[in-house]
Amino acid sequence: MMRRKVTGVPAFLIGDEMVVGLDQEKILSLVDHRVVACTQCGTKVRVPVNKGKLRITCRKCGTVFEAEPK
Ligand SMILES: [Zn+2]
């Protein structure tokens, strides 16, 4: 088994993105979530895709905005 600079850490290849380790947020964002930014403060909010238009409440400033992630 080949050993590289990253050892003992699972790695995933999702699309063109290599995810090393258990960066779950990144994995989820690549698989079935998208990150959208709050229209007011820019806080990044992870939302599921394929749900049509979503009403998102920013967890930081409470702004409600709509997004349609695909
Ligand atoms: Zn906000």
Taking the centre of ligand 1 as the mean of its atom positions, its distance from the CA of residue 42, in whole angstroms, is 6
Percent of the chain residues past pLDDT 90, beyond the cut = 31
Å from CA of 53 to ligand 1 middle: 18
Is residue 39 scored above 60 in pLDDT?
A: yes
Cα–Cα dist 30/55, whole Å: 21
Average pLDDT of span 13-23: 73
User: Dmax of the chain from CA atoms?
Assistant: 50
Ligand 1 midpoint to CA 38 (Å): 5
Summarize pLDDT for 48-61 with one digit per residue, the tens. Answer: 888 889 999 999 99
CA 64 to centroid of ligand 1, rounded, Å: 8
Distance 3 CA to ligand 1 centre (A): 43
